[in-house]
Structure 1
Amino acid sequence: MNGFDLTILTFLTQHAFSAGLMTKTIKAIAGFYTFKGLVFIPILCWIWFKPHQHGEWDREVVIATLASGLLALVLGRLLAHYLPFRVRPIYNPDLHLHFPATEGEHELRFWSSFPSDHAMMWMSVATGIFLVSCRVGILAILYTAIFICAPRVYLGLHYPTDVIAGALIGVVVTYVMTSDFVRRPLAAPILRWIDKRPGLGYAMAFVLCFELVTQLDEVRILAQSVSKVVGHS
């Protein structure tokens, strides 16, 4: 445990947000999809449908941003699986800190804390928004830091360095995915396909946005259930 993480965790658990109502509010913010991805999807829709000042560039960035978010989520979970295991603060007895109990926290006991897939995914999306609109993007980045990353640190689900590293990786993923040599070959055929089949295209976009908001949680649960059934058969 480094001093940076310990100092912030000690401050949050012993000096900040001690009121019960504040703790319940933070739990709700951390647990509800409404306070996470559902905030960003309307912004991406606004970018998609607003009058184009840069031709198809805005829409290309939206496609690359959606791809970046999903890629960051998958990459985050792969890194957590293959990197050395890091126990989450809430399960680390060496910290001697008391964290608020969180619903469903038992499911995370065997998930490595590093890096934060929440920080990777939503900072990736916020970065894509920033590339189109600096003002809206700055708000999106601040929202990610305050309402997505910070609550998970306060609840003991991540160390500060988990979310910082995750956020930086998310930014890099979007930077690469929105670069000309990746964005254009990825987005151009998708845009042409949507122009030809807008009904099917927007229907699939809705499903993709839904999975982005829920962070593929139901897909993961379904895959785990199928794996258990196959394993016992």
Structure 2
Amino acid sequence: MNSFDSSIETYLSNLHFGHLATRSIASIADLYTFKGLVLIPVLWWMWFQHDERREWRREMVFATLFSGLAALVVGRLLTHWLPFRVRPVYNAELHLQFAGSDLNDALLSNWSSFPSDHAMLWMAVATGIFLVSRRIGVLAILYTALFICLPRAYLGFHYPTDLLVGAAVGIVIAYVMTRDAIRVRYATPALRWIERHPAPSGMLAFVLCLELVTQFDELRTLASSVVRNL
């Protein structure tokens, strides 16, 4: 582990706020309510706004959702392609006792720490929100940093570099996918199809947003079970 990660993780491991505070932080880190269920509704609100920039804003919202989906896929691929990195809370060589050590999730022990898919996904979404509305976007980025990323470092689920790299990749994906030259190639045709077929598009949007909020957890668990039993 590099000195940057080591110094921050050592500091965080020495922070103990009591059982109730630790459980609260763990809930914030674990529950969907404090992640996608905060940011995704902001995109829905932007989608239904009516003004002269309505079409552009809808394209940006679609591109942001697509960026989030792309970030999840890239995150999954990177965890498989890059060398496995043990999460701080499971790394006995660190000799650190994190506040959330008793909250270990067996699934996390088998999943590489680098990069953070949470940081990648939700920073991509927050960046998309920022590109539509600077004021709301700043709040979305701060929320992602403080309520999604920081608790995962405090509980020992990720090293700081896991979160920083994940956030950086998410920002780049959202920025690239929302550029005019790229966005119009897929968002504009998709928007035309949505306008022609509101019923199926509304259904698909609901399913996509639900899966993004849950980060496809149930589907991943189901896929893992199928693979193990084959």
Task: Tell me which interval the TM-score lies in, with the shorter structure as reference length.
Answer: over 0.9
Q: Report the counterpart of residue 135 of structure 1 in structure 2.
A: 135
Distance in structure 1 (CA, Å) of the matches to 2:8 and 2:52: 43
Deviations 1:29-66 (A, max 9, x none): 01100000000111001110112342411000111100
Alpha-carbon distance, 1:18 to partner: 2.6
Counterpart of 2:34 in structure 1 is 35
CA shift at 1:123, angstroms? 0.1
| C-alpha distance in structure 2 between counterparts of 1:31 and 1:137, whole Å | 23
Q: How many residues align?
A: 229
SS in 1 for 2:101: coil
Contact kept, 8 Å, 1:27 with 1:102, in 2: the verdict is no
- Tell me which amino acid in the other structure corresponds to 2:219: V
Tell me by how many angstroms 1:103 deviates.
4.2
Q: 1:180 Cα shift?
A: 1.4
* Structural mapping, 1:142-221, within 5 Å: 142-221=142-221
Task: Give the aligned residue type for 2:142.
Answer: L
Aligned to 1:222: 222
Q: 1:52–1:58: 8 Å Cα contact kept in structure 2?
A: no
The whole-number CA distance in structure 2 between the counterparts of 1:217 and 1:182 is 29
Cα distance in 2 between the residues matched to 1:39 and 1:52: 24
Does residue 114 of structure 2 align to residue 93 of structure 1?
A: no
1:18-33 to 2 correspondence within 5 Å?
Answer: 18-33=17-32
Partner deviation per Cα, 1:180-225 (whole Å, 9 max, x = no partner): 1221111111111111111111111000000000001111111122
Once the two structures are overlaid, the 10-residue window that deviates more, 172-181 or 99-108, is 99-108
1:104 positional shift: 5.5
TM-score by length of 2: 0.96
Q: 1-side partners of 2:19 and 2:76: how far apart?
A: 32
AA aligned to 2:127 is: T
Q: How is 1:65-76 mapped onto 2 (pairs within 5 angstroms)?
A: 65-76=64-75
What's the counterpart of residue 46 of structure 1?
45
- State the distance in 2 between where 1:43 and 1:156 align: 29
Do 1:81 and 1:111's aligned partners in 2 also have CA atoms closer than 8 Å? no
Q: Residue deviations 1:47-100, cap 9 Å, x none?
A: 101123424110001111001001101111110111011111011112111022
1:77 aligns with 2:76: yes
Q: Is the 8 A contact 1:72 1:121 kept in 2?
A: yes
User: Whole-Å Cα distance in 2 between the matches of residues 164 and 90 of structure 1?
Assistant: 18
* Residue identity opposite 1:222 in structure 2: L
Inter-partner Cα distance in structure 2 for 1:102 and 1:190 = 46
Backbone CA RMSD of aligned residues = 1.2
Structure 2 distance, partners of 1:152, 1:91, is 13
- Note the C-alpha offset of 1:227: 2.1
